[in-house]
Chain A
Amino acid sequence: MTPRWGFCERCELWRLEEWGAPPHCPVCGGEPRPLERIEGGIGRTSLVLDLPPGSELPLLG
């Protein structure tokens, strides 16, 4: 299994690990979010906004 980058929210750490299936932190067992996905040899990680449904991104311009 290829090591991938993931952010363990419980450890509050970025880790380059083999996260297993289903993915879990090898140290605390927490779920990584986000977790890198490997596509054609390229690792992709998406950092998305955690906003409640219906809320708007505050724009200060």
Chain B
Amino acid sequence: MHKVWAVIRREFVERVRTRTFLLSTLLFPALMIGLTVLPVLLDRRAKAPKRVVVLDGATGEAGTRVADGLAAAKRTGSNGGARYSVTRLVAGTDLEARRDSLVRHVGVGSEGEGLDGVLVITDDAITTGKIPYYGANVGSPQDMRRLETEVQTALRLERLRRAGIDPFVAMPALRPIDLQAQKVSGGATTGESGDASFILAYAMSFLLYMALLLYGNQVMTSVVEEKSSRISEVLMGSMRPFQLLLGKVIGVGAVGLVQLAVWAGTAMALTRFRTQLAGLFGVAPDSLRTMPIPEVSPGLLAVFLLFFVLGFLFYASLYAAVGSTCSTVQETQQASVPVTMTIAVGLILMFSLFGEPNSSLARLLSLLPPFAPFMTPVRHALVKLSPMELGLSALALAAGVVAVAWVAGQIYRTGILMHGRRASLREVWRWLRAG
């Protein structure tokens, strides 16, 4: 154990010390903060309200209502001014001629001159709901959705009035609903919202996928580097291949965990300290869009972590075994394809089966070590699995980890002394039987 610990420490310390690690660990949070704050800041920079003309060709108050609605719209941000500068023009007899002459001013001149857009309201448009808008900048879906929402609210009121319904009675009746899903298992509520645990399970699968591709690969590269620097033979004279392998996988895994923890911590801190962050940049807290932190019971979290760790050990050992059969990093790219494919298949199966988490296929996959890390947590989040099924799945996976680690150690012990070329499958098979 002392030796394994020495390997873990070396892997961890030497990796964490590198500039690459520091950069990649800090770059991601910086990027996250940037992505949260930047849109708001950019939005605020476009200070001038958009100059919009509402060309009113409708009878009654429709045009006025739309114009008033737009004029009242505020820009997001702490000190947001009016979003639009609205002028209502009555169309008169020749609506099309009027419209064309207005459109000629759209997008002309520099900022602050000309018009940004022309909105045409007619009785016909109110009925069909198709409202023409001639804008200089219609590319941003976000801007268009905002405009749409404003116009829609105004026109709803107008439609209700035309139908002879008091909007103050009707609007509350039309309030949208939000389904409050509560997860129930075994007849008792769990206190978790179904959404939260599912999202987390889903996120964990993705995280595992990412962690394997990033850090699993690092295990493999590190094995190859040890081979090419020839230190592997010195180490083989001091410890069992299994010890070296275990230390390496855990060491690299720990580096990965630290990095992931920094990232996840940043995401959580961003949400929690949203107000302070907003204050720092002088924007309204509500305007920052951040990730929701799901509320999950500790029990569920423990299950997730267990499968995450076991899954990592399983695949990282496989990667190490692949690395020991190769002589160069380039060779590993090709040799590791089967492992990478299996991981991808696990993720895809997880996606395609979450409609039917209790199907016999899903149950079977939960018992197969390569797929259990992806299937079981998601299934558990969807339909709480019995302790029996959960235990069996974890046990199968743990047995898989031991088996893979043994096989990998076996391949490692011979492969690590071989230089110059990649081992063929037949050779690998012979090494296995020799053990």
The answer on A and B forming one complex is no
A interface vs B, CB < 8 Å? none
